[in-house]
Amino acid sequence: MRGPDACLALEDGTVFKGTGFGAVGECDGEVVFTTAMSGYQEILTDPSFCGQIVTMTYPLIGNYGVVDADLESDRIWARALVVRELSRVPSNFRSEGRLDDWLERRGIIGIEGIDTRALTRRLRVEGAMRGVVSSTGEDPDTLVSKARAAPSMVGRDLVLEVTRKRAEVWTEGFLPFGAPMECELSPFEGDRLPIVAIDYGVKWNILRNLVNAGFDVTVLPGTATAEEVLSHGAAGVFLSNGPGDPAAVTYGIECVKGLLGEVPLFGICLGHQMMALAMGAETFKLKFGHRGGNQPVKDLSTDRVEVTAQNHGFAVDPAVFRRDDLELTHVNLNDGTVEGLRHREIPAFSVQYHPEASPGPHDATYLFKRFREMILLSEMA
């Protein structure tokens, strides 16, 4: 059964017409694209996509259905989903339902039948833009005006929208489906280390990876102060991924400043950016960001190239590495942007990407083990 007519209007006046699926309605957001070929459920429930209209560059989406085990949080955070073709006949033994029905139950708008290749090329040339998706029959010119009035991601703090409200002890680990028993993510055997994970928009599989790496994990809200974090007596602190402009999360930056030198730190994605800001760096908005499961990154300490999962629209200004106390550890091989850093004098390191790879390759899962080794070395010092 064909859905209602729908369209995607961009702030530059471009309008893409298609067919609606999922919920009927209208929403605005920053229009971005991801090159991931699968993992649409993980992407939609990733808090880092809060405030964004997500375009899948892979043409056929929904073909393996949906399953509750693949959620990365307890709700969908993306504002809308844009695809070339929606599969309404899922074929997978794990499937528990159809993608369009799942979106409809959760009030999320989808649009299919547009030229996602043309849209992606436009976003690459012009940059990520504000947009509106509507399946209500609204006039396209009106939708363009609404897109231009939508809030910008620059200067926008979205952590307050996605972070948990109270502390929680997380105990669930996992062995990924199809992963060999000897992989880095196999269940840990040995003495466990207590850590605090600060939730700026953390994904469930990141927490599962920390458990599998041998940590007892207490998760605190992103608004936690350094004093509150240190009161837990943790051996280390993990700074999570999250959405929005890192420079706008001033309370998080102040917290990290108070933790530097007091406890070993490992940050990813937004946590990486806030660690850099706490160390005196600056951040800037990328033209169209890095989103997908195929971003090549070089670990400068080993000369090893990793294929990584990423989702971010901001990056750290490399000018900070003129200082002797900071080291650039990872670089993006597509555009040379900063993908990792470490402090030479205190136990603290971070990466721009998502080492848990949900979805994506497992090349970077060694970083959880590196975090544990850093904590043990700092305890011996």
For range 191-199, the mean pLDDT: 96
Q: Quote the pLDDT of residue 73.
A: 96
Q: Quote the pLDDT of residue 180.
A: 43
Read off the pLDDT of residues 317-349 as tens digits, 9 standing for 90 and up.
Answer: 999 999 999 999 999 999 999 999 999 999 999
Q: What percent of the chain has pLDDT over 90?
A: 89
Tokens of 381: 């010092």
Report in angstroms the alpha-carbon separations of 54 from 114, 129, 204, 212, 278: 13, 12, 20, 30, 30
Please report the domains of the chain, with CATH numbers, ordered by start residue. 5-149 (3.50.30.20), 159-380 (3.40.50.880)
pLDDT exceeds cutoff 70 at 92: yes
Q: Quote the pLDDT of residue 187.
A: 60
pLDDT exceeds cutoff 60 at 223: yes
Phi and psi torsions of 245, nearest 5° = -85, 115
Q: Quote the pLDDT of residue 183.
A: 46
For range 273-278, the mean pLDDT: 98
For range 155-167, the mean pLDDT: 97
pLDDT exceeds cutoff 80 at 186: no
Please count the residues of the chain.
381
Q: Quote the pLDDT of residue 181.
A: 39
* H helical segments located in the chain: 40-44, 99-105, 116-126, 140-149, 159-162, 204-212, 226-230, 250-259, 270-278, 366-380
CB atoms within 10 A of CB 77: 23
pLDDT exceeds cutoff 70 at 381: no
- Grouping H, G, I as helix, E, B as strand and the rest as coil, residue 200 is coil
For range 115-121, the mean pLDDT: 98
Average pLDDT, the chain: 94
Phi and psi torsions of 38, nearest 5° = -150, -175
Under 8 Å between Cβ of 32 and 313: yes
Q: Quote the pLDDT of residue 333.
A: 97
More confident residue, 379 or 115: 115
Q: Are strands 109-112 and 80-82 parallel, antiparallel or unpaired?
A: parallel
pLDDT exceeds cutoff 70 at 182: no
Give the E-state strand segments of the chain in sequence order. 5-10, 15-22, 26-34, 52-56, 60-61, 80-82, 85-86, 109-112, 129-134, 168-170, 193-199, 215-221, 236-239, 265-268, 283-299, 304-316, 326-332, 338-343, 348-351
**Confidence tier at 379 by pLDDT (50, 70, 90):** confident
Read off the pLDDT of residues 341-373 as tens digits, 9 standing for 90 and up.
Answer: 999 999 999 999 999 878 888 888 889 999 999
* Stated pTM of the model: 0.94
Read off the pLDDT of residues 247-274 as tens digits, 9 standing for 90 and up.
Answer: 999 999 999 999 999 999 999 999 999 9
Q: Quote the pLDDT of residue 176.
A: 53
Give CA–CA dist 208/350, Å, rounded.
19
Q: Give the residue numbers marked as catalytic.
A: 269, 354, 356
Q: Quote the pLDDT of residue 23.
A: 97
